[in-house]
Amino acid sequence: MSFVEYGDTIKDGDTAIVFLGHESMFPVKVQHGTVTQTKYGVIRHSTDLIGKKYGSKVTCSKGGWVFILHPTPELWTMNLPHRTQILYSTDISLITMMLELKPGSIVCESGTGSGSLSHAVIRTVAPTGHLYTVEFHQQRAEKAREEFREHGVEHLVTVTNQDVCKNGFGVSNIADAVFLDIPSPWEAIGHAKSALKAEGGRICSFSPCIEQVQRTCLAMEEYGFTEINTLEILLRVYNVRTISLQIPDLGKAAEDNSSAGFDSSSASNPGSPCTDVQAGTVQFKSGVPLRDMVGHTGYLTFATKS
């Protein structure tokens, strides 16, 4: 099992996603002799999972069923254990595009955190690219290394435990892109410039507060970055539902349709504007926004090394 290569069959040691519904899923590490409890009953790894194909419908001990899905960066973002606040797919999609990432790209990241963005970057730059990720917190760095190894991507990522603001990324003049998600990104701009290739490299900084953005932009200008641009993404989700609306009673149409320029045949046409409108309701499909909308997550500041 690998997050960058698809496998058909569930194997011992794999990380799989147990899908109970669109709002209910969780990751599980597949192991011989292990059982997983769900609200539909027990899943026995040895008999119910190992050897089955990903996407299989598995019946639990109480008669209910779940689907077992192959892990992807998108599913991992929705189900990973939170060690820090994470980036979600809305921001990640724009980051990977605006940093111009592609297979073979070299990327520097700080900090690693829970690895949400890291998995997406690794999948994007595979099979010949590489991610150098720096995490200040030692336990989080060790946990990230463990997860990358379990997910079959350790050959595509190097995890370093150090302070990027003081010690940098540990590489020079090789990165195509740098991503910063730290409390004081302006202190790491100089190290980011050193890590980027000679010219044309891209940088992105994620900050929740506009004061952080202001100081970061000033630092970018000081170090000669150009095309500095700050964005904020607000996602509004719509559900498609059947809506019933009352038809207003506008009274009878004019009795003499001929005076309005219509012949008698048009009155029998349901689509004619002169058809009598009866009071009642009509049903139709409509996009309805959710009552709650995800608000501000953070500001994304992009720039180019000139």
Positions at the binding site for S-adenosyl-L-methionine: 114-117, 135, 163, 181
Q: How far is it, in rounded angstroms, from Cα 160 to Cα 138?
A: 9
**Spacing of C-alpha 114 from chain mean position:** 14
Q: How far is it, in rounded angstroms, from Cα 65 to Cα 41?
A: 9
List all residues 6 or more positions away from 215 whose beta carbon is below 8 Å from its beta carbon. Answer: 184, 186
Find, among 87, 94, 161, 164, the residue nearest to 119 by Cα: 87
Tokens of 213: 């953005």
β-sheet bridge partners, residue 133:
109, 159
| Whether the Cβ atoms of residue 179 and residue 109 lie closer than 8 Å to each other | yes
Q: How many CB atoms lie within 10 A of CB 178?
A: 29
β-sheet bridge partners, residue 160:
134
Residue 40 burial by Cβ neighbours in a 10 Å radius (0-12, 13-18, 19+): middle
Annotated binding-site ranges? 114-117, 135, 163, 181
Q: How far is it, in rounded angstroms, from Cα 72 to Cα 79?
A: 11
Find, among 136, 295, 299, the residue nearest to 216 by Cα: 299
Q: How far is it, in rounded angstroms, from Cα 305 to Cα 223?
A: 9
